[in-house]
Amino acid sequence: MRRPLVAGNWKMHGTRASVAELIEGLRCLALPGNIDVAVFPPCLFIPQVIDGLAGKSITVGAQNCAMQSQLGALTGEIAASQLADAGCSLVLVGHSERRLMLGEHDDLLCRKFAAAQVSGLVPLLCVGETLAQRDAGQALSVIKQQVGIVVERLGIDAFARAVLAYEPVWAIGSGLTASAQQAQDVHAAIRAQLAAENAAVAGTVRILYGGSVKAANAAELFGMPDIDGGLIGGASLNADEFGAICRAAGS
Ligand code: PGA
């Protein structure tokens, strides 16, 4: 049985004051004991969030890391080893906003994924198709390629210490959610792709769904057999809504 994970991706939101409020709201939540919960604040707020959530069973991750794990001359980047030193345990890799708006390509993503693992962080690899790709019937082939490149470069065993998230680009921040069945079909395809390499790894890796998850649709999505929780954007900025999503994952 895979333990569900609900992860909040705060993206480029928050001020010191609003983050303090959100921390307070998270501290007050009664979280189910049978799930894992994580938040991904903007880097600037990571120490504030780690300190603020001390004693609460919510882990903290980063939204990005450098492609090299070691310290060095790379202006503006933050090494996975620095994130680990700061107390992070996870890092997002390959979010569609970075793939599409910042031009992050597969080669770079593989290096970030590897750098995270070398530093002891768990990479959370995001994959997903655009609306044009889905309309052209290419959703599964696009996702297969996005997952496959990491398997090919880093080996299937890399997924023994990683999390995946299926996030259809057309569902992110749009209010459009994939139907539970649409999401399940993709999750099952990803798991089958991994199982062809190593059934044990495929059986244990958590595959989250992301894209306009709210308290109102979470239970149906999380009820599908291959959906092991969610990566939550907008709704994670409201502690009560996030708490309700966590409860849906725990029930
Ligand atoms: P959303 O974002 O929940 O606001 O759609 C999800 C994500 O991008 O991780």
pLDDT digits (tens, 9 = 90+) for 37-79: 999 999 999 999 999 999 999 999 999 999 998 899 999 999 9
Q: Which structural domain, as residue segments, surrounds residue 48?
A: 5-250
* DSSP helix/strand/coil, 209: strand
The number of the ligand 1 atom at minimal distance from the alpha carbon of 97 is: 8
For residue 47, what are its two tokens? 């120490």
Instruction: Give tens-digit pLDDT for 214-234.
Output: 999 999 999 999 999 999 999
pLDDT at 87 over 90: yes
Q: What is the mean pLDDT of the chain?
A: 97
What's the CA-to-centroid distance between 72 and ligand 1, angstroms? 32
Chain mean position to CA 188: 18
CATH of the domain at 101: 3.20.20.70
What's the confidence (pLDDT) of residue 134? 95
Q: Give Cα 128 to chain centroid, integer Å.
A: 12
Is there an atom of ligand 1 within 6 Å of 119 CB?
A: no
Q: What is the pTM of this model?
A: 0.97
Is any atom of ligand 1 closer than 6 Å to the C-beta of 211? Answer: yes
Q: Which residue has the tokens 């109102």?
A: 216
Count the domains in the chain.
Answer: 1
